[in-house]
Amino acid sequence: MPLTPETLTRHELVGLDVEVVAASNPDAVGISGSVVMETTQLLTVERDARVWHVPKADATFAFTLDSDETVRVEGERLVDRPARRTANAGDSKWR
């Protein structure tokens, strides 16, 4: 399945460029870089050898796709184990 704005929440997020565009913690707004790790509750973002751990449920993210499209995603939609999140929604042939 290709990575499109409609399928972003069902894909692996590691390696994508991301920016925090809204968050309950105002210090997190504006954090940007590449997603280097994902857990159930956190996205780990790295830029210039600096690392931030951003809680998914408390933020809104803007991901930049390879096609240079920007997709805004409410973090609450990403809260789940990465393997479960990518397999649960829809027509996965691995389920």
pTM (2 d.p.): 0.88
Q: Is the dihedral of CA 78, 53, 58, 80 positive or negative?
A: positive
Which amino acid makes up residue 20?
A: V
51 vs 66 pLDDT, higher one: 51
Match domain 8-84 to its CATH number in 3.40.50.720, 3.40.50.2000, 2.30.30.210, 3.40.640.10.
2.30.30.210
Q: Are 85 and 39 in contact (CB under 8 A)?
A: no
Q: What does the block give as tokens for 22? A: 């809204």
The mean per-residue pLDDT over the stretch 72-82 comes to 93
> pLDDT tens for residues 18-39?
999 999 999 999 999 999 999 9
